Amino acid sequence: MQTMLLTTVLCFALLFFGSVSGQVSYTIPEEMDTGALLGNIAHDLGLDTKRFISGKARIYTRDSGEYVELNRNRGVLLVKERIDREALCKKTTPCALHFQIILENPMEFYSVTVQITDINDNPPTFEGEKTEFKISESAVIGSKFVLERAVDLDVGTNDLQRYELEPTDNFGLKLHSKTDGHKNVEMVLQKPLDREKQEQINLVLTAVDGGDPQMSGTMQIVITVLDVNDNAPVFTQQTYKATVTENSPKGTAVATVKALDADQGSNSKITYSITNTLDDVRKLFNINGENGKITLIENIDFEESRNFQVNLRASDDGGLTDSCKLIIDVTDVNDNKPEINIMSKSNVIPENAELNTVVTIIHIEDKDIGDNGKVHCFITENTEFTLKSSSNNFYSLMTDSELDRERASEYNITVSCSDEGVPSLSSSVTLTLQISDVNDNAPVFDRSLYEAYIVENNTPGLSIFTVKATDADWKQNARVSYILDDSSVNGVPVSSYVSVSADSGVIHAVRSLDYEQIKDFQFRVKAQDGGSPPLSSNVTVKILIQDQNDNPPQILYPVQTGGSVVAEMVPRSADVGYLVTKVVAVDVDSGQNAWLSYKLQKATDRALFEVGLQNGEIRTIRQVTDKDVVKQRLTVIVEDNGQPSRSATVIVNVAVADSFPEVLSEFTDSPHDKEYNDMLTFYLVLALAVVSFLFITCLVVIISVKIYRWRQSRILYHSNLPVIPYYPPRYSDTLGTGTLQHVYNYEVCRTTDSRKSDCNFGTAGSQNVLIMDPSSTGTMQRIQSDKSILDQPDSPIEIYRWRQSRILFHSKLPVIPYYPPRYSDTLGTGTLQHVYNYEVCRTTDSRKSDCKFGTAGSQNVLIMDPSSTGTIQRIQSDKSILDQPDSPLEVSYLKLT
């Protein structure tokens, strides 16, 4: 039945919404099933459902219980759990749920009100199933007896509407409507009672509500008829009023009520009682049954109940009663601090966030009323943020100025809220906000110009000094790399002088520097951070090269000649201090390394001359006499001031004479000329001995070659070993012609013991052809071009021609290839970077083959006829390769069949 009633109410419930200043209202009946549709919030707010998903839409409610849930995907509100209007609001009307819909990115919120309408799901209920009255039989017609009121938790038309009393033989019902909307029910005596006829009367009181279908509750009334008590108690007031302050201590007197009874004796004794049912009145208040004093027995909280109605009854011993009510108003005390609720907040924002960027949305609530509930919020100490009230009790914390992470990377923002009560109560909350870094700072060098010194002749790789740049940003944005800018010093890239470490900024010298070539140079170093995009800055670095004493003094005058003798003349009449000459020297070093001092090291007569220490002037220190020899020889040493010092010496010849013939006679027969003649004779004898030795050596070599050739022919004549072609490294066959990029001599020879074979190409200018006749069994021919190679000295071809034919005819030993060093195959062409000798030899035990290349200049082609059994041809072109320098030697090797 309850389900049918719920369905009927849902069908006729008015479902509507309104949107004013971001607010939406719905009206639903109570007791809706879990999961039932409450409303299409996305449509009602004019938002797309995708916004609910991207904005992470959620419901914010301060209460602990959540009756409504949000379906983001559909954008609808659903019933999360059954809503009991009576449990939620009791008798308060209207009954509504209040919550907010929060969206992020950007932050938005909308207020939603869901009004809960009542359904007739509660019948009227009496506190007790039975009540008893003792009524005197002398009670007059019209006597009233206050009955217990039924309580219906529903409101409106579903609330209690009427009472019914059965049977109605003696009593009837009378309802009194109160200003508060409640109805007091009284039982009125309509017919006199007769205890002798009926001592006890049983009645049934029925309470009926106005719901559809109607619901009712009953209570049994038992009346005991007494004898003669014809005056009922009467309260002095029908309505009493009192005020009590919340949080008053227990036992506080609230009010005192009084009733009067005209009877005497026991019939005038009045008993007071509280008749409230189904509420908390009897839990909070107590009445003294004898004197009517009402006291507080529990603490009262204004935020829970602002007023109370206490229903009182006065009864005498005769069972007559009267009723009244006590209205108790609760006075608010400022006992609640403002509550600060964080609805949504950002923990991190970038330092380049725009002004008025919302950081946090907070909701403020104070349960007190009046001035006690008026709240003001503010922030202190942070001028970068401001707190603005967006609507009633809602505040937005937003940026008020530009942020700079390098100035402040974290903010602790304290939001304080205080009410206007006396004394004022306040509360606060601290929000921690991190500022994320943006690459907005370029690296900064600690100096605007660097100057460094390095001593010349340094070791390459020496660390000169370090540049340092700092970046105020964070992490990757603050990681600095150092780069050497492209520039040149005297036309040479600066990178050939110095290098910079990308990580540490250490500048190293790439090569040894010479002060005499370059005294200083400058370049720029760029510091670049790791941001995106990267920022950079430059600084100029100046390197000053310090001189080292690495150059000795150089004598400019007097000039030292090899054979002739130059002398300064000093007349015999020269006085003391006579300037003979001046030694002039320079030092290419600088500073103290170039400070020169002159000293007289040796002298024929030390007592006659002196040298100026600073100017190098040679002067006499005494009067020249006739006894002084004509030829004076002075050795002057010039030293610089370096550490250690370097020096140079010069010999100054001085002639002490008054005339030139005197000087000439002195220097004509000099021991030097005699010594020179002796040396010349020695060199002539030595040259004659060397020529004789070379002539004898040549004769011995020629005779040895003749003997060797005869022995070799005998060895090859009886040899049955075949000749296997040898392919040198870096050799390739290009269009049938093997090429070697340079010119070589090649020797082939064979001895009795070692089976050695040498092939020798002659010097530049010779051009020969060795032809192996295919029809023969091993004969090698040599065809010479118009220009005879015998015209060239030391031509080797004629020497081994006869030998070669004998070698190739009788040789059966295979030639095993040997590869010379530094040989590589380049683009299909074998190359040797330099000129080598290459040997091919063969021994009984080692099978060793050597091929020796001689000097550059010869150009030959060795051709092995594939149809023959071992004939090798050599063809010489008409044009000498001497016409082209470094002409490559072309050699072609073909395998013997």
Domains 23-117 and 130-226 agree in fold: yes
Write the single-letter amino acid at 345: K
What's the CATH class of domain 444-546? mainly beta
* Residue 375 binned pLDDT confidence (cut-offs 50, 70, 90): very high
Distance in angstroms (rounded) separating the CA atoms of residues 862 and 745: 12
187: which 2 tokens? Answer: 């039982």
Tokens 């809602």 belong to 394
Distance in angstroms (rounded) separating the CA atoms of residues 304 and 301: 5
Question: In CATH, what is the architecture of 130-226?
Answer: Sandwich (2.60)
Which burial class, exposed, middle or buried, applies to 781 when counting CB atoms under 10 A from its CB (0-12, 13-18, 19+)? Answer: middle
- Region for residue 352 given its phi and psi (left: phi exceeds 0; alpha: psi -120 to 50; beta: otherwise): alpha
Distances (CA, A) of 298 to 87, 544, 589, 716: 22, 94, 108, 140
575: which 2 tokens? Answer: 């006085």
Calculate the CA dihedral of residues 121, 123, 124, 130 and round it to 10 degrees: -150
State the fold for domain 234-331. Answer: Immunoglobulin-like (2.60.40)
- Region for residue 311 given its phi and psi (left: phi exceeds 0; alpha: psi -120 to 50; beta: otherwise): beta
Main-chain phi, psi angles of 783, to 5 degrees? -110, 125
> What pLDDT, on a 0 to 100 scale, did the predictor assign at position 857?
37
Distance in angstroms (rounded) separating the CA atoms of residues 270 and 282: 20
Q: Which positions ≥6 away from 349 have C-beta within 8 Å?
A: 357, 359, 399, 403, 433, 434, 435, 436
CATH number for the domain running over 554-662: 2.60.40.60
Mean of per-residue pLDDT scores for the chain: 77
> What pLDDT, on a 0 to 100 scale, did the predictor assign at position 565?
56
Of 268-272, 338-342, 836-840, which range is least confident?
836-840
Q: Is 201 in a helix, a strand, or coil? A: strand
State the fold for domain 23-117. Answer: Immunoglobulin-like (2.60.40)
Tokens 């809503």 belong to 83
275: which 2 tokens? Answer: 């008749």
DSSP state of 370: G
- Which DSSP helix (H) or strand (E) runs through 270? strand 270-274
Q: In what order do the strands lie in the sheet with 375-379?
A: 348-350, 426-436, 410-419, 375-379
> What pLDDT, on a 0 to 100 scale, did the predictor assign at position 562?
60
* Axis-axis angle for helices 797-810, 671-717 (nearest 10): 20
Q: Are the CB atoms for 874 and 860 separated by under 8 Å?
A: yes
Other beta carbons within 10 angstroms of residue 383's beta carbon come to: 9
> What pLDDT, on a 0 to 100 scale, did the predictor assign at position 666?
62
Distance in angstroms (rounded) separating the CA atoms of residues 485 and 357: 42
Cα 533 from chain centre: 13
Distance in angstroms (rounded) separating the CA atoms of residues 232 and 319: 8
Residue boundaries of the structural domains of the chain: 23-117, 130-226, 234-331, 339-436, 444-546, 554-662
What pLDDT digit, counting tens, does each position of 443-455 carry? 999 999 999 999 9
Distance in angstroms (rounded) separating the CA atoms of residues 173 and 181: 18
* Residue 662 binned pLDDT confidence (cut-offs 50, 70, 90): low
> What pLDDT, on a 0 to 100 scale, did the predictor assign at position 837?
42
> What pLDDT, on a 0 to 100 scale, did the predictor assign at position 718?
53
> What pLDDT, on a 0 to 100 scale, did the predictor assign at position 840?
40
What pLDDT digit, counting tens, does each position of 544-592 carry? 998 888 889 999 888 876 654 567 888 888 889 999 999 999 988 888 8
What pLDDT digit, counting tens, does each position of 87-130 carry? 888 878 888 888 889 998 888 888 899 999 989 888 999 988 89
Distances (CA, A) of 576 to 509, 618, 625, 630, 635: 56, 12, 11, 17, 20
Other beta carbons within 10 angstroms of residue 33's beta carbon come to: 10
User: How long, in residues, is the chain?
Assistant: 897
Distance in angstroms (rounded) separating the CA atoms of residues 692 and 699: 11
> What pLDDT, on a 0 to 100 scale, did the predictor assign at position 582?
93
State the fold for domain 339-436. Answer: Immunoglobulin-like (2.60.40)
Of 130-144, 293-307, 876-890, which range is least confident?
876-890
Main-chain phi, psi angles of 404, to 5 degrees? -140, 110
Q: Are the CB atoms for 888 and 794 separated by under 8 Å?
A: no
612: which 2 tokens? Answer: 């100026």
